[in-house]
Structure 1
Amino acid sequence: MSNNIIGFMSLGMLLFYLINYRKLNGKEIGFPLYIYFAMFPFKLRALPLLSYDDLLLKSILIFGLFLFVVKNNKLKINIYEVLFLVSVIMSDLLALYSNSEQTTLMLTGLFNIIFIFSFTIYFKSKVGKWEGMYLIFKILIINATVLSVMALIEILIYLELRAAVSMNNPNYLGFYLTIAFCITMYLTKKISIKSVILLILLGLGIISTGSFSAILGMVLCMILISFYYFINKSLYKYFTYIFFISFFVIAVYYIILGSSDIALTNPLVGKILEQKDNIRLYVWGYAIELWKNNIVFGIGYNNFFYVVNNYSYVTHNDALRLIVETGIIGTFVMICYVIGLIIKIVRCRKNELILFVSILSSIFIFSMFHNNMNSLLFWTMLSLPLYKSIIEQQYDDKFKTR
């Protein structure tokens, strides 16, 4: 798909969100947060006249956060994000002290994570009730619907092998659509023609990306929803714990096996995987060996890359990225964060529990095959269980009106 089409589509979405600011109830979260969250999947810079769109949108967001603080509004901070940022700074400083040659990469990663956490702080401080969260969900679904239509056009008319639309990478488009799919399933209280068509459209959009992890996340979402509705309520808590423990055991086994000599030399693996994916197994082995020399603090955030045939590879696995780049310190912070989220999840009502489990499992699946920690969507959706009381508020409000 040409840059002009992507640019005009993005411009159309910008006009849509500007015109519908009041109709969509944008005041619930304020214009800076509203416009940035709405527009970050799109690429206005595809048009030459709007080449600085990302800088402009980020400036609006940061200015909004600055005004929020100046007005003496209280900032709500996620302590785990603060601790993770501290671990990143520590690993970067140690890497710089060791005369790292990748200063630019580390600084880029550091500034990116600082910006993302600025967004999540602003997000947490502004989204204080269900109306604000519903607006976020609505924006995700609107964007996913548009992106799914454009993805199908890209496949059927432009004959692309994998749809990417404005997100450059089919996998990240697939991840965005999978999150929207999970949220749509949650908001669909009654089956209707409209909801079925929307879910089918999102499903086709996910399939058109050709992203195995996104498709697996969508399928798992449907399986989990079906399963939770049939099991006894008293078993929710135990099943959720068993599910996540099993997931992490499989993930660890997958990493160990994938980076071992058995997998690297197995001809069957070479036949199953494409050549590019097969090389990733060597990347994993190299990452683990590199970590063994930097166990505590890692080699510096955003500092890992593996060059083969003049092509640079990242770890393609967020767990490995955590380990090799931030060491035991950063990994421990993230493990504590995830455990805290799971504990919150098991205390939820049925509908909210299903939403959180499906979204977190989609995030974890995607992170097993890709690097997603520089993604705003990753951190925002990962923190969703922290908004448990806000999301459950919709039920309380309905109950009070009876």
Structure 2
Amino acid sequence: MKTPHCIKKLLENEKQYALFTDGSCRIVGKHRRWKAAVWSPTRRVTEAAEGQGQLSQFVEVKATQPSLDIAERGKWLVLYLCTESWMVANALWGWLQQWKRSNWQRRGKPIWAAPLWQDIAAWLEKLVVKVRHVDARVPKSRATEEHQNNQQVDQAAKIEVAQVDLDWQCKGELFIARWAHDTSGHQGRDATYRQGRDQGVDLSMDAISQVIHQCETCTAIKQAKRVQPLWYGGRWLKYNYGEAWQIDYITLPQTHQGKRYVLTMEEATTGWLETYPVPHATTWNTILGLEKQVLWQHGTPERIESDNGTHFWNNLIDTWAKEHGVEWVYHIPYHAPASGKIERYNGLLKTTLRLMGGDTLKHWDTHLAKATWLFNTRGSTNRAGPMQ
């Protein structure tokens, strides 16, 4: 694939091979309508395509396709593509080649609108394309011939209707911002912006801030982080990281693999959370979960607290604790002052799993790892996460 060059200004002999592109999208009635347009400044003709069900950013890219088709049908030696979209310009200047080398993925995730970019990449194998970004926000007093041509294609791309309910460009940006925020792991404004930029979308901070403010998952995580980690009037102050843990089980719908419970383990001094899904809440599964998630990763603790359920209070647990030098302390089940933060974490974990599953816990096992990661990496508004 040939990488299109960046051009600063069109020469007179190049204008006959220049095409200006633009696209728009609006909601009309109950349907989204889009329109992509191409303008030839020398032939003074417009070519347009219309359809339903896409975002404005998608249509800006879509407008590139008829330009490439015109150049191929006309057997042009070179196409000078002029666009006001930074997303299109940056993609053609270099991002497209990077995406192709990485199998149309970015950090292990498919890029946005991958089939459309793949089609454009196939065109670029056959054509020489040079790209010019046109500044659309220029006062009329300073408008050049280039800006006038850009205004022509802008008018051609507008959807002419009697009544427009909503400008889809704004709504489309919020849609993409929500997608970028979710796929970036709910890591804040900068991470959301970078995720959008990596996919060729330049999101505004206003849209990102609105999406984060409305995000229920972030709200749940922030609530968990605001709970103070030093419980019982400072009783945990004598312990260092990894030396004291609280554990419990939560019950969830049975998965296809037969798992129905999650052993939750919370580190006392920081609130770090470990989770271990199991088919049954048994003593043996408790020991396996502690060894795999706590001992092997954080070291042997000095103290473990739990309720006095049969999966925690028996001879096997007592023997295991003595062999490992662990003080095992029992408290009253469901007694908030005794069970501390683990009970709140259990509730917030269920809430997070439900939100990630689209208001259902049916496939909670596919979201458990990410939900746990969110607890441990997402800081509150006034305090960093436990490992930060």
Task: Name the TM-score, length of structure 1 as normaliser.
Answer: 0.24
Task: Name whichever structure is richer in strand by fraction.
Answer: 2
Task: Name the TM-score, length of structure 2 as normaliser.
Answer: 0.24
Which one has the largest radius of gyration?
A: 2
Task: Name whichever structure is richer in helix by fraction.
Answer: 1
Structure with greater contact order relative to length (CA < 8 Å, sep ≥ 6) = 1
